[in-house]
Amino acid sequence: MSELHDECGVVAIYHLSTGEESPLCPPQGREEVSRLVPRMLLDLQNRGQLSAGITSWSPKRKQLIDTHKEVGTVTEVFHLNHREKYNRLMDEYSGQAAIGHVRYATCGQDDRSYAQPFERHHIKKYKWFSFAFNGQIANYDELKNKLLCDNNTYLARETDTEIIMHFLCAALKESDNGSDLLPVCQKLGASFDGAYSLVFLNARGEMFVARDPLGIKPLCYAFDGSLFAAASESVALFNLGFTADAIKSVVPGQMIIVNKNGIRIEQFMESPRTSHCFFEWVYFANVASTLDGKSVYLARKRLGEELAHQEKVPLDKDSIVVPVPDTSKAAADGMAYALNIPCLEGLIRNRYSGRTFIEGGEYRKRKAETKYTPLLEVLEGKRIFLVEDSIVRSTTMRVLIDRIRNVGKAKEIHVRVACPPITGPCFYGIDMSTYKELFATPFFEKRGKQFGDWILDSEIEEEMSKDIGADSLRFLPVKSISKAIGIPALNLCQACINADYPTEWGCKLARIAKENYDHGVNGRTYE
């Protein structure tokens, strides 16, 4: 799963001007709660390591809102290993309100201008704003063409973030001097098809956070009467000091408007159904998070138990479970406990080997070889049950199997995947937009059935196993996902494993992607 990535993570924080100062404030007080943003972003680093940024608001400085963003990890961007530089940065961007962002993306990788938050200057304070989002606008092409039909319009970047910025500008222009942000968000919701968790801050010190009507991407918030905070995941709020009971999920289609005097919760769009991305529990989210009331750790543990329930390979004293570090650990523990065999760390991950996911092709493979070190003392002569979150492109898995067999000298390698095969692209914020890049696609494709009618059987698993060099390979069935998470399948987005895309444009892009695949066309399907 080191080859699969989500787009981003967002945070927001605001201390009211009225009432008592929150005990969760930094030592510098309520007017510098922006200092909490780097800490929050560290807890979301799993969602993106390409760039990070902050926009803060302070009525006491000339730059009412100001943005700092750079390419790099949170530690690099905010100089967390250099006290003097960090303090200077926090002094410069101190404020009683702020939003932040961590990013992973497939375009504009090393370009600072693609980093978020996006700030838009204007002489009118309500039109001077900054925002950040997690997700992907599926009808990007439609909205881009709508904007570009005016010959005086120009888009500087190929990104849906810029599309959102222009639609925010248009909605604010039509508003009554920005007197109410609810209609602004309603206009966005009426235009966008896709997934988005959005944080917004303007030069009047007004903020809102919003979640798409299907709740595809997660968003949590907490409020102690003085301090409001929001983040993509609950762990960022819990580690600030909010109690678990105080942390709530933003309801799909809901926005929370915040200003210096208080907060207001509004439903900006009706939510016909929820469609939470199941991969949040399988892989993306921090294992310490709780999303929409469901523990990520417990979901992964139950996925491992589901693997154990379908195990048919004979067990003996040489049988051990080995997780692929790090996010497979909970599933591996669950499987091993249910089978009553040891779970040992036969692979050690080098956490300082670099961000291999931003590299491509053969270089990614060579980096993967140095990222995981097999332990000969653990693996030699053993029947290994290698537990992984998912197999998407198979690059990393092939390297691991080769290393475990030839360096670790394992007797057998049985790959167990705590997820069904990924057989379809995603258009809601995961970097897999074509059929061609997916490992499982050709094994089903040659059966002659349409995506959605593909059925996993032992024959397909055997073919896959031989292809990657394992002794056997087993995936979980689709039905195991909702059972493990504890959310009905109808309320989960599982489009990449069952072809049920929850939006109109998701269905449309899936058809285009399949046509492109059938005709040998490569690249993103919506360009």
Each residue of 175-197: pLDDT tens digit?
A: 888 889 999 999 999 999 999 99
Instruction: Name, in order, each residue with C-beta under 8 angstroms of 329's C-beta and a sequence gap of 6 or more.
Output: 287, 323
pLDDT for the residue numbered 362: 55
Give the per-residue SS3 of 461-482: HHHHHHHHCCCEEEECCCHHHH
- Pairing verdict, β 118-120 and 97-103: unpaired
pLDDT for the residue numbered 80: 96
496 labelled catalytic: no
Helix/strand/coil for 273: coil
Catalytic entry in 8, 419, 426, 493: 8
Helix/strand/coil for 414: strand
Name the token pair of 307. Answer: 């693997």
Positions of the chain with pLDDT under 50: 1-6, 108, 355-360, 523-527
The DSSP 8-state label assigned to residue 401 in this structure reads: H
Give backbone dihedrals phi and psi of 99, rounded to 5 degrees, phi first. -125, 155
Q: What is the pTM of this model?
A: 0.92
Instruction: Name, in order, each residue with C-beta under 8 angstroms of 363's C-beta and a sequence gap of 6 or more.
Output: none
pLDDT for the residue numbered 149: 84
Name the token pair of 236. Answer: 């960022």
d(CA 45, CA 193): 27
CA 464 to chain centre: 27
The DSSP 8-state label assigned to residue 281 in this structure reads: I
Helices 160-174 and 140-148, packing angle to 10 deg: 60
pLDDT for the residue numbered 366: 66
Give backbone dihedrals phi and psi of 412, rounded to 5 degrees, phi first. -140, 150
d(CA 17, CA 58): 12
pLDDT for the residue numbered 357: 39
N-term to C-term CA, the chain: 26
- Token pair 């059938």 is found at 518
pLDDT for the residue numbered 445: 80
Kindly report the number of other CB atoms within 10 A of residue 297's CB atom. Answer: 18
- Token pair 């040489």 is found at 318
